[in-house]
């Protein structure tokens, strides 16, 4: 499969529509499932892996087509022999996990053209299915994912215990096998240094907070993923409900922080936003980390009405497209760090100035 | 006298023409003179000061008119009751020293409309006359100043000793009373960290190196003033010759440093220059210090051909016009530090974007 087309535009779920999308970048629900009669992958041999991959490839592509995408809307990419750059590209788009990219043996990913739905085959569990949507749309994600899950279940028998629920490789997923998360943009709370306090209360309410790329990664660019911890002994609706009750409170903290910033230090906020925009439009070499920080400030600026010549969709898209694998796909070659930083600066100038403005 | 017109344009000597003006901002020669029959100012009473001011006001305005400016081209500003903002404006334009601005009693300054010639009355000495020119033009400065000095001498008798030469309030000026200096822009040597080495050799050759506003001030924005130390036992031509032989060597060091930067780290230089330009065009609040640093990088960028949409004259002018007193004159009101920083940012955006670009 050719991933070129992925490199020049982001998935629809990042377009910046959807409820509360000034703060909620995206909502995501995923299910972990395993196939009855096969060992968990940690104990599966090469041949069992291969069998699983073959069975599940058919099952998930068929289910995806049935669940609404139609045959033409479904892509399957086997990953065993995939080029490293393609694997990184899929990670950067949140279509696969780093674990699946770095894994070995027969494995793959099926996803819809809109990239709203993706199913990993032979990651930690036999199946990891996710639905992503722009803005705060957890219920809608769940409705879509539930339908897909049913469609897969018509094709394969899941490992299921009447006592425990769905069986998973890691005990933390047993039960519903469900992880529900929202990606939040919280520059107001970061800039006013209220993040530790807010995170403490999120954690006290039994939710987890992580960085941009999930478990073990540092939060960066003022983006944070909030997700459920419990999967056992609670229903899917309860899990969604627990996020659904906490997230609005975080949103109101963030909004109050933004209002406070505008009231008390409008000029400093405006300056920080405008300088960040200037840096993105003028840098000749720029790292991923700097880009993330500046884009975060610009995103806040657009949402506060301080920047009015830039649609939020373009800003959201740049978070994805300015990442290393995307830049290399766009430029059509493997680039070392220094060349990537120069290519990133050029790409940002083009996208934000509408032309390759030399110093100008 | 109304100084409004000074606030919106710089003096001609800063327009960026003249030999070597990519590095030499300006050349300056000044003479210290005292009037025979009057004590030095440290021992003069209020009435003697007043007499001196009256005598010298006539003498210098007459001499300036004779020496080439004509009556219409000469301005005299008494400073005893001058508004503080006007005094700061004159300091920022290098027309008077901080000492004269902060002084007391009858005193003043005469200058040509082009601001190339200025004579301070009752500073440390009774007279301090200077000629400023763009680029490396020490001989031409001296020719003009010598003619003015002769024209003043026709009107008042200077305190002069056949053994020592011209007598001055401070022994370091006795003899010729002459100080010759060039203001150099040395970002190449600063960025490549060769400044200490170069300064050491300048000092070993008997010259002094100082910051942007003369004695006791910190060098800033990569600008340095190089001047003679000796005034006694050497002729005027020898003093000019000593700078004339050292400055070209500094210029060649600076040029080599700039070439080295372009060869070895063109991208980093381009990035630094372009980001500085971006900051000046996007900041919403900016201090004098930051402005100086960014303008210095932009000035280098223009001279290296990395920025091609900005005439050097505009950059040179911004160094002067973005200073506190100028900003307040331009805005027509006294501004506290925070308001000044915002006014400075707005002024820079206007001058560099040609419009008040909101974030855009």
Angle between helices B312-321 and B288-303 (to 10 degrees): 170
- The per-residue pLDDT for range B56-114, each reduced to its tens digit, is 999 999 999 987 767 778 999 999 999 999 999 999 999 999 999 999 999 999 999 88
Q: Contacts of residue B345 in chain A, CB cutoff 8 Å?
A: 271
> For residue B298, what is the nearest residue in chain A, using CA coordinates?
A359
Residue B67 covered by a domain: no
Domain assignment of residue B308, yes or no = yes
Whether A308 and B274 lie within 8 Å, measured CB to CB:
no
Say yes or no to pLDDT of B262 above 90: yes
Is A274 in Cβ contact with B278 (below 8 Å)?
A: no
| Interchain proximity A275–B279, CB inside 8 Å | yes
* B254 min Cα distance to partner chain A (Å): 23
Q: What SS3 class is residue B217?
A: coil
Q: What is the pLDDT of residue B307?
A: 95
Q: How far apart are CA B218 and CA B214, in angstroms?
A: 9
Please report whether residue A63 resides in a domain: no
pTM given for the model = 0.88
**Backbone angles phi and psi of A281, in degrees to 5:** -90, -10
Average pLDDT, integer, range B298-325: 93
Separation of alpha carbons A343 and A328, rounded Å: 8
CB contact under 8 A, A309 and B277: no
Residue B1 confidence class, pLDDT cut points 50, 70, 90 = low
Q: Give the mean pLDDT of B172-184.
A: 92
Q: What is the DSSP letter of B69?
A: I
In tens digits, chain A (360 residues) has pLDDT values of 667 777 777 777 777 778 999 999 999 999 999 999 999 999 999 999 999 999 999 999 999 998 776 767 899 999 999 999 999 999 999 999 999 999 999 999 999 988 999 999 999 999 999 999 999 999 999 999 999 999 999 999 999 999 999 999 998 888 999 999 999 999 999 999 998 899 889 989 889 998 665 544 444 779 999 999 887 888 899 999 999 999 999 999 999 999 999 999 999 999 999 999 999 999 999 999 999 999 999 999 999 999 999 999 899 999 999 999 999 998 889 999 999 999 999 999 999 986 444 443
Comparing CA positions, the residue from A340, A359, A354, A316 lying closest to residue A134 is: A316
Q: Which domain holds residue A265?
A: 259-352
Nearest chain B Cα distance for residue A144, angstroms: 40
Percent of chain B with pLDDT over 90: 74
| A170 located within any domain | no
Q: Give the residue-averaged pLDDT of B9-31.
A: 86
Task: Tell me the nearest-neighbour CA distance from B255 into chain A, angstroms.
Answer: 22
DSSP H helical segments within A20-110, as ranges? 46-64, 84-92, 98-102
* B360 vs A: CB within 8 A: yes
B342 contacts on A by Cβ (under 8 Å): 267
Question: Six-digit token pair at A261?
Answer: 């910033």
Listed residue (B270, B320, B326, B271) closest to B295, CA to CA:
B320
- State whether A281 and B279 contact (CB < 8 Å): no
Residue A232: what pLDDT? 80
C-alpha distances in Å from residue B58, one per residue of A276, B76, B156: 56, 9, 10
Closest to B183 (Cα-Cα) out of B13, B302, B355, B342: B13
End-to-end CA, chain B: 40
Which residue in the block uniquely carries the two structure tokens 């939020």?
A312
What span, in angstroms and rounded, lies between the C-alpha atoms of A325 and A13? Answer: 19
Instruction: Identify whether B239 is part of a domain.
Output: no
Residue B14 and residue A246: Cα distance in Å, rounded?
Answer: 62
**What distance in Å separates the CA atoms of residue A349 and residue A356, rounded to the nearest whole number?**
6
Taken in order A247, A248, A250, A254, the sign of the CA dihedral is positive
Chosen from A265, A299, A359, A360 to mutate, greatest number of chain B CBs within 10 A: A359
Query: For the purposes of burial, counting CB atoms within 10 Å of the CB of A207, is it exposed (0-12), middle (13-18) or buried (19 or more)?
Result: buried
Instruction: Please report the pLDDT score of residue A113 as a whole number.
Output: 87
pLDDT tens per residue across span B203-232: 898 899 986 655 444 447 799 999 998 878
Give me the pLDDT at residue A212, please.
61
> Is residue B248 in some structural domain?
no
Q: What is the mean pLDDT of residues B34-63?
A: 96
Structure tokens at A216: 């073990």
Q: Are A186 and A23 in contact (CB under 8 A)?
A: yes
Nearest of A287, A273, A278, A302 to residue A345 by alpha carbon: A287
State the DSSP string of A280-332. HHH-SS--HHHHHHHHHHHHHHHHTTS--SS-HHHHHHHHHHTSHHHHHHHHT
- Pick from B274, B275, B283: CB nearest A271: B283
In SS3 terms, A2-46 reads as: CCHHHHCCCCHHHCCCCCCCCCEEEEEEEEEECECCCCCHHHCCH
Other beta carbons within 10 angstroms of residue B8's beta carbon come to 11
Number of structural domains (chain A) is 1
Within a domain: B347: yes
Report pLDDT for B10.
72
Does residue A343 form part of some domain? Answer: yes
Q: What is the mean pLDDT of residues B252-280?
A: 96
In this complex, is the C-beta atom of A307 within 8 Å of any C-beta atom belonging to chain B?
Answer: yes
Q: What residues of B are in contact with residue A349 (Cβ under 8 Å)?
A: none
- The per-residue pLDDT for B358 is 41
Q: A268: distance to nearest CA of chain B, Å?
A: 7
**3-class DSSP assignment, residue A113:** coil
């Amino acid at each position: 499969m050719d991933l070129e087309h992925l490199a020049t535009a982001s998935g629809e779920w990042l377009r910046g529509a959807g409820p509360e999308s000034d703060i909620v970048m995206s909502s995501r629900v995923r299910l972990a499932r395993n196939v009855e009669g096969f060992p968990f992958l940690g104990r599966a041999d090469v041949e069992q892996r291969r069998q699983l991959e073959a069975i599940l490839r058919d099952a998930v592509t068929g289910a995806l087509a049935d669940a609404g995408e139609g045959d033409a809307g479904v892509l399957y990419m086997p990953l065993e022999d995939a080029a490293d750059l393609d694997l990184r590209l899929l990670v950067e788009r949140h279509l696969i996990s780093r674990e699946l990219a770095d894994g070995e043996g027969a494995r793959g990913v099926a996803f819809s053209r809109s990239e709203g739905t993706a199913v990993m085959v032979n990651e930690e569990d036999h199946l990891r299915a996710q639905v992503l949507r722009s803005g705060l749309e957890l219920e809608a994600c769940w409705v879509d994912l539930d339908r897909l899950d049913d469609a897969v279940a018509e094709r394969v028998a899941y490992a299921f215990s009447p006592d425990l629920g769905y069986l998973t490789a890691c005990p933390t997923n047993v039960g519903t096998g469900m992880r529900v998360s929202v990606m939040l943009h919280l520059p107001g709370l970061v800039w006013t240094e209220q993040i530790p306090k807010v995170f403490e209360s999120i954690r006290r309410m039994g939710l987890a907070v992580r960085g941009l790329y999930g478990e073990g990664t540092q939060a960066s660019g003022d983006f944070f993923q909030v997700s459920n911890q419990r999967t056992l002994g609670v229903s899917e609706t309860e899990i969604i409900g627990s996020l659904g009750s906490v997230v609005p409170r975080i949103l109101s903290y963030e909004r109050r922080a933004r209002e406070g910033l505008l009231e008390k230090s409008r000029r400093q906020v405006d300056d920080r936003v405008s300088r960040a925009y200037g840096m993105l439009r003028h840098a000749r070499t720029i790292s991923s980390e700097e880009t993330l920080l500046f884009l975060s400030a610009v995103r806040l600026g657009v949402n506060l009405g301080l920047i009015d010549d830039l649609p939020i969709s373009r800003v959201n898209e740049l978070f994805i497209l300015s990442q290393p694998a995307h830049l290399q796909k766009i430029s059509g070659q493997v680039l070392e760090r220094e060349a990537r930083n120069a290519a990133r600066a050029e790409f940002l100038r083009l996208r934000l100035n509408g032309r390759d403005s030399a110093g100008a």
